Amino acid sequence: MIEVRNLTRVFRTYKKQPGFWGGVKGLFKREFEETAAAKDITFDIAEGEFVGFLGPNGAGKTTTLKMLSGLIYPTSGTARVAGYDPTKRENAYRRLFALVLGQKNQLWWDLPAIESFNLIRAIYGLDPAAYKATLDELVALLDVGKKLNVMVRELSLGERMKMELIAALLHRPRVLFLDEPTIGLDVISQRAVRQFLRDYNRRHRVTILLTSHYMADIKELCDRVIVIHKGTKIYDGALDRLENAGGARKKIITFLPGGTEFPDTWQSQHGETKRDADTGKFTVRAPSDQVVALSQEILGTGPVADITIEDIPLEDVIAELFQSH
């Protein structure tokens, strides 16, 4: 469904010198800086896949989505979505995809959402019966039936995002680009949006490319992730393989001593040990194959009031991946 080959976008920005005279000098001699927001990115996404697109701020995620949407022209490289070239912005292609930007609004601010939906129906020339059936399905899935006639500016952030998703899906796109759709939402709204996206993807086999800084979004929705850093792809594969690579092969054991046998300076022989001075808890980060030996070491040293063993958080795994590049 999506084919990307060596996609590159270079931005050229003017570097103004400070002060008045700096501005005057800039009239005669300008210095420019070139930044590769995306650099030789290559990947394929099959129909119906739900893929996470990860990277730190400024990595080039949004730039890539905009190039796939035809909003930005690539400096070099090619992209095809369902056989179409996004740079040509053909009407047939624009009917095929939808782009949802978590920090941008497409609905009319001073009108009820239903008015914007009716406008979208007219723009896409949707059959009235098909439009009503789609709208009813989306409204039911997102549980916003009582908010359709409320001014968009009077809706909560979570309600507005649900309306944005409905607006993006009214024309039944085959490809959905989501740029941080849960940003700023509370826990309940995040869960509702994630549940909706998961159900919609399974029902209609829509190809979805999702960027998010919330690892809960990625873990619950995506089996595959693409990671980019400084405009370059550094990982493309299964999420569970990423979790089991590098730092994820380690475990975190946290325990609270139940006696005085553990001095404040106690250190494990099997991993990096830290102690929280406020709670008195020890945290040991150790390889998975050392967990049994570490547990025996802890229990053999003295009584323990509480102990937990957990995987390294995915956020830490991603951070270590960024640092290694």
For residues 273 and 252, what is the distance between their CA atoms, to the nearest angstrom? 10
Q: What is residue 101's predicted lDDT score, i.e. its pLDDT?
A: 85
Q: What is residue 314's predicted lDDT score, i.e. its pLDDT?
A: 67
For residues 182 and 188, what is the distance between their CA atoms, to the nearest angstrom? 11
pLDDT digits (tens, 9 = 90+) for 16-39: 778 877 777 777 777 777 888 888
Mean pLDDT, to the nearest integer, of 107-115? 90
* Structural domain contains residue 38: no
Q: What is residue 41's predicted lDDT score, i.e. its pLDDT?
A: 92
* Structural domain contains residue 44: no
With the C-alpha atoms ordered 140, 144, 146, 150, is the resulting torsion angle positive or negative? negative
Q: In the chain, what's the furthest Cα-to-Cα distance?
A: 76
pLDDT digits (tens, 9 = 90+) for 135-165: 999 998 888 889 999 999 998 888 888 899 9
Q: Which domain holds residue 306?
A: 248-323
Q: How many independent structural domains does the chain possess?
A: 1
Contact between 220 and 295 under an 8 Å Cβ cutoff? The reply is no
Highest mean pLDDT among 78-82, 276-280, 284-288, 321-325: 78-82
Question: How does residue 42 score in pLDDT terms, banded at 50, 70 and 90?
Answer: very high
CATH code, domain with 252: 3.30.70
* Structure tokens given for 32: 């420019």
Mean pLDDT, to the nearest integer, of 41-48? 93
Q: What is residue 244's predicted lDDT score, i.e. its pLDDT?
A: 63
pTM: 0.77
* Structural domain contains residue 258: yes
* Structural domain contains residue 205: no
For residues 56 and 46, what is the distance between their CA atoms, to the nearest angstrom? 25
* Structure tokens given for 316: 């830490």
For residues 179 and 225, what is the distance between their CA atoms, to the nearest angstrom? 14
* Structural domain contains residue 267: yes
Lowest mean pLDDT across 110-114, 179-183, 271-275, 279-283: 179-183
Q: What is residue 206's predicted lDDT score, i.e. its pLDDT?
A: 93
Backbone angles phi, psi at 127, to 5 degrees: -65, 130
Q: What is residue 131's predicted lDDT score, i.e. its pLDDT?
A: 93
For residues 225 and 81, what is the distance between their CA atoms, to the nearest angstrom? 18
Look at residues 3, 70, 97, 84 and name the one whose alpha carbon lies nearest to residue 41: 3
* Structural domain contains residue 5: no
* Structural domain contains residue 275: yes
* Structural domain contains residue 317: yes
Strand order in the sheet with 272-275: 272-275, 282-287, 250-257, 304-311
- In DSSP terms, which residues pair with 175 in a beta bridge? 97, 207
pLDDT digits (tens, 9 = 90+) for 265-302: 899 888 889 998 888 899 998 887 888 888 888 988 88
Contact between 68 and 77 under an 8 Å Cβ cutoff? The reply is no
